[in-house]
Amino acid sequence: MNKFTPAKPAGARSVDEITASRRLRRMRKADWSRRLVRENSLSVNDLIWPIFIIEGKDRREPVDAMPGVFRLSVDQAVKEAERAAKLGIPALATFPKVEMGLRDRTGAAILDPDNVINRATRAIKEAVPEIGIITDAALDPFTDHGHDGILRDGIIVNDETVEQVTAAAVLQAASGSDIIAPSDMMDGRIGAIRDALDANGFQDVAIMSYATKFHSAFYGPYRDAIGTAGLLKGDKQTYYLDHANSDEAVREAEQDLAEGADMLMVKPGLPYLDIVRRLKDEFAMPTFAYQVSGEYAMVKAASANGWIDGEKVMLESLLALKRAGCDGVLTYFAPQVAEVLKG
């Protein structure tokens, strides 16, 4: 006998004695019983699809690090919105890649009622009124330094940025945006936006706060998609949350809710499941996660190499976000997921 083979000791207990007959595998024995006790599920109703918008007509530019993702001219975005609505996707989140010549120190072009994001909102709302539109009021697509706020003497100035973001939010609402989702992490932005929306007759426009947006390396491909990667000087640590922190995330969410946020968002997604769970338990509010560009890119890259089953990982990662407490997820996979769930 091999001396390393563990011997069953004389008088050893049987498994039924060890478990007191509580065999947890019983309910896993068949597909029907697994389905019966399944606690969470993913549906098309959980999906928000982020799309990138560019100037021009009939343009679809592939984003290098995000296979399957395109920058779309407004007419193409309308087509994709029609497809999304047919698939049952509840809402789109739009992000512009602004022409370089239109970017400046303060991101002034965000205050143009006819900028590409506001035109996209109007065109989509006209063609596909049944789909929800979520717009970001952060300045980064519009600044020539790639920061989310106004840069003065090396500092992202808070209060001036809040004024600009607030004015942009009102213009977005006037263009037909249903939800303002400010991602800039300035202090006081939620309350300021709520006041301004209400004062301008947009009481029904909701606010999804990027309450806990972490300083993260997972945003890389997005910055390439909107053309800020080469512009950004320094990093965003003075305004995004330190990714070492969790209590601070709770304080951020609490503050945004006190200021009038209707929904909370955690960003990135999968590496921050603990934050999702804490916020859901603490506040019981509609809670979302943004499965960001780097998360998407990792799945696509590994899948393209044949190292993982991309479709299964996509579905598992989204279900994990649901299990953590998300009511929905912003994900570049949205149309693909909707197709898979339909089929």
For ligand PBG, the closer CB: 70 or 219: 219
Would the annotation count 252 as a binding residue? yes
Question: DSSP readout, 311-326?
Answer: HHHHHHHHHHHHHHT-
Closest by Cα among 171, 222, 170 to 192 = 170
- Which of these ranges, 97-105, 134-142, 149-157, 252-260, lies near ligand PBG under the rule CB under 6 A? 134-142
- Which of these ranges, 36-44, 117-125, 136-144, 164-172, lies near ligand PBG under the rule CB under 6 A? 136-144
Q: C-alpha angle 292/293/297, rounded to 5°?
A: 125
The least CB distance from residue 185 to ligand PBG, in Å, is 8
The least CB distance from residue 222 to ligand PBG, in Å, is 3
What's the CA gap between 300 and 307, in Å, rounded?
A: 10
SS3 258: helix
Closest by Cα among 172, 61, 161 to 115 = 172
The least CB distance from residue 95 to ligand PBG, in Å, is 6
Contacts of 53 (CB under 8 A, 6+ apart): 71, 72, 73, 74, 77, 94, 95, 96, 97, 116, 117, 120
- Which of these ranges, 70-78, 132-140, 162-170, 173-181, lies near ligand PBG under the rule CB under 6 A? 132-140
Closest by Cα among 217, 151, 220 to 184 = 151
Q: Quote the distance between the C-alpha of residue 35 and its chain's center.
A: 28
**Largest CA-CA distance found in the chain, in angstroms, rounded:** 84
SS3 156: strand
The least CB distance from residue 245 to ligand PBG, in Å, is 17
Should residue 222 be labelled a site residue for ligand PBG when binding is judged by CB under 6 A?
yes
**Binding-site size, ligand PBG (CB under 6 A):** 11
Should residue 138 be labelled a site residue for ligand PBG when binding is judged by CB under 6 A?
yes
Q: Which amino acid is at 25?
A: R
For ligand PBG, the closer CB: 80 or 140: 140
Should residue 300 be labelled a site residue for ligand PBG when binding is judged by CB under 6 A?
no
Closest by Cα among 148, 177, 179 to 164 = 148
Active site residue 267: yes
Q: Which amino acid is at 340?
A: V
Should residue 183 be labelled a site residue for ligand PBG when binding is judged by CB under 6 A?
yes
- In the range 229-258, which residues lie near ligand PBG by CB under 6 A? 236
Should residue 209 be labelled a site residue for ligand PBG when binding is judged by CB under 6 A?
no
CB 65 within 8 A of CB 297: yes
Active site residue 236: no
Give the active site residue among 97, 125, 236, 267.
267
- Residue numbers of the site for ligand PBG (CB under 6 A)? 136, 138, 140, 148, 183, 219, 222-223, 236, 292-293
Binding site residue list for Mg(2+): 252
Q: Which residues are identified as catalytic?
A: 213, 267
